[in-house]
Amino acid sequence: MKKVLIAILMLSGIAAVAQNNFQSPKPSKHQLAWHETEYYLFMHFGPNTFTGQEWGTGQEPENLFNPAELDCRQWCNTAKAAGAKGIIITAKHHDGFCLWPSNFSKHTVRESKWKDGKGDVLKELSQACREAGLKFGVYLSPWDRNHPDYGTEKYNTVFAGMMKEIFQNYGPIWEMWWDGANGEGPNGKTQDYDWKRFENIVKQYSPKTVVFSDIGPDIRWVGNENGIAGDPNWNFLDIEGFKRGLGAPPTDTLNQGNYRGKRWIPAECDVSIRPGWFWHGKEDDKIKTPQQLFTIYLKSVGRGANLLLNVPPDRRGLIGDKDVAALMGFKKLREESFENNLMMNAKMFYQFVPKDITFKSVDSNGVFGANLQDFIVEFPQKTKINCIVLKEAIQFGQTIRKFKVVLYKDNKTVREINGTSVGRKRILTFPEENITSFRVYLEDSKGSDNISSVKAYLIDDKLVEK
């Protein structure tokens, strides 16, 4: 094997990108754009905000909902200041209460005393998001504990009508979030959801919208509500034979994806900044610290997933000061940790095996042929690092199935880090080492490697995942 000097990197550590010829799943352009949002806010808001419940009964009086100081611009300003790229709002939770004056329900903001029945949370938030340059998404629970038609075929038309209203009146809708919950309605019956019909409505009325559920079709649930993606985390999934809700794939499959999956359905990690999803005053002193949020970031975005962080507005209709402080502290930690790329003055070499030479590698899934390729980074002097960030050019698929990072000090190995998946971003942290170079070995089982960026950092040791 022979070393080939590609570049003396003065910028960010960008490596050559080789297109993969293997026909593995690849993201659509809308999925690819979704990957780049990386981090955005969830907002659970509705009658539960005022009752202290997490799941409402559907019998809450409409007048209970009265956020007298509601200010969606405050939400958006907070999200933008926190570095979030968008907001997803619970337009209708399981209690059936609609945050917009839907023509398909009598349990909406129109029936409340808030703004004398003239209020519309979706209108205010969609406008505020556009003004702030944020993406706007909607959570719409199919379960409805209030609607009299729930449990009958008529309800599928109701839910379809609600989706059309949202797409036509509040778009563009960036992400549609479908909860798989399916409990009893006021008549004691459950609903047979017409998911195919609902999917067709998205395609017809808002084809650029990406849809989240247990089985996508565009984004999958990560299998837990702790904000933690699997290690490994594959962007692939097979959905044949599975359903949303009780018929979903096993949680470990949702968490890690399917190594051999035939569809590109990446993971979204949802987690709340508080113990509950809705605002509860008794939880004001239980908000996650910036350090806890940073750890979640490493285990979500740092494993190739997106982070959906729930920050619920309070009864005033505002995000509380303590929640804001935690978000700002979280942003500060991210900025401080990743502002100084130590590879700015490093040299990068690319070592490869000629295409006509095939090596045999063995992993837990059997024997396969692999092209072995590696990147070598040399620092001008001894450099302290404890974090390396790898990025894969996922527009060509997720082809890296195994890798190893070796740290050297004066040509002596000081640490080895083994990994499997990379995906959009893989953040590796380890105890601080004073090194002169490191090498990234790639064992690519599906064709040419797709590494697009390698960066190195020295972050606060207290933040390092060990």
Instruction: Round to whole Å and give the CA distance between 19 and 300.
Output: 26
DSSP 119-183: --HHHHHHHHHHHHT-EEEEEE-S--SS-TTTTSHHHHHHHHHHHHHHHHHHPPP-EEE------
Read off the pLDDT band of 451 (50, 70, 90). Answer: confident
Residue 144: which of 199, 109, 191 has the closest Cα? 191
Whether the per-residue pLDDT at 18 is higher than 70: the answer is no
Instruction: Round to whole Å and give the CA distance between 279 and 158.
Output: 29
Instruction: Supply the pTM of this predicted model.
Output: 0.92
Instruction: Round to whole Å and give the CA distance between 97 and 121.
Output: 12
* Number of neighbours of residue 412 by Cβ within 10 angstroms: 9
- Residue-averaged pLDDT of the chain: 90
Query: Which residues, 6+ apart, have CB-to-CB distance to 134 below 8 Å?
Result: 40, 76, 79, 80, 84, 85, 86, 87
> What average pLDDT score do residues 405-431 get?
96
Instruction: Round to whole Å and give the CA distance between 356 and 443.
Output: 16
According to DSSP, the residues that pair with 237 across neighbouring strands are: 263
pLDDT digits (tens, 9 = 90+) for 291-349: 999 999 999 999 999 999 999 999 999 999 999 999 999 999 999 999 999 998 898 87
What percent of the chain has pLDDT above 70?
88
> What average pLDDT score do residues 153-167 get?
98
How far apart, in Å, are the Cα atoms of 196 and each of 113, 127, 202, 244, 342? 37, 30, 10, 12, 50
* Weakest mean pLDDT among 10-14, 56-60, 162-166, 448-452: 10-14
* Number of neighbours of residue 355 by Cβ within 10 angstroms: 8
106 by Cβ neighbours in 10 Å (0-12 / 13-18 / 19+) ranks as: middle
Instruction: Round to whole Å and give the CA distance between 43 and 41.
Output: 6
Read off the pLDDT band of 357 (50, 70, 90). Answer: very low
Would you state the pLDDT for residue 271? Answer: 98
Instruction: Round to whole Å and give the CA distance between 114 and 118.
Output: 7
Whether the per-residue pLDDT at 372 is higher than 50: the answer is no
Structure tokens at 228: 């933690």
57 by Cβ neighbours in 10 Å (0-12 / 13-18 / 19+) ranks as: middle
Would you state the pLDDT for residue 442? Answer: 83
Read off the pLDDT band of 415 (50, 70, 90). Answer: very high
Catalogue all structural domains in the chain, each as residue range(s) with its CATH number.
2-24+341-463 (2.60.120.260), 38-338 (3.20.20.80)
DSSP state of 289: P
Q: Are 70 and 56 in contact (CB under 8 A)?
A: no
Whether the per-residue pLDDT at 351 is higher than 70: the answer is no
Give the position of tokens 């960030």. Answer: 389
pLDDT digits (tens, 9 = 90+) for 98-141: 999 999 999 999 999 999 999 999 999 999 999 999 999 999 99
Q: Crossing angle of helices 153-170/195-205, nearest 10°?
A: 20
Q: Is 423 helix (H, G, I), strand (E, B) or coil?
A: coil
Query: Which residues, 6+ apart, have CB-to-CB distance to 100 below 8 Å?
Result: 91, 108, 109, 120, 121, 122, 123, 165, 166, 169, 170
How far apart, in Å, are the Cα atoms of 130 and each of 85, 193, 409, 446? 12, 32, 50, 41
Task: Kindly give the pairing relationship between strand 347-352 and strand 210-213.
Answer: unpaired
